[in-house]
Amino acid sequence: MYGQGMGFSNWLGGPGGFMHGSFGMILTILFWALLIGLAVKIFQYAVTSKKEQTPPSAATILKNRYAAGDITKEEFEQMKKDIA
Taken as a whole, the chain contains a residue count of: 84
12-31 tens-digit pLDDT: 555 555 556 788 788 889 99
Output b/e per residue, 32-67; b: 16+ Cβ within 10 A.
eeeeeeeeeeeeeeeeeeeeeeeeeeeeeebeeebe
Give the CA distances from residue 65 to residues 48, 50, 62, 68, 70, in Å, rounded to whole numbers and listed in that order.
Answer: 26, 25, 5, 5, 5
Crossing angle of the two packed helices 58-68 and 73-83, in degrees rounded to 10: 180
Task: Output the pLDDT for position 1.
Answer: 47
- pTM for the whole structure: 0.41
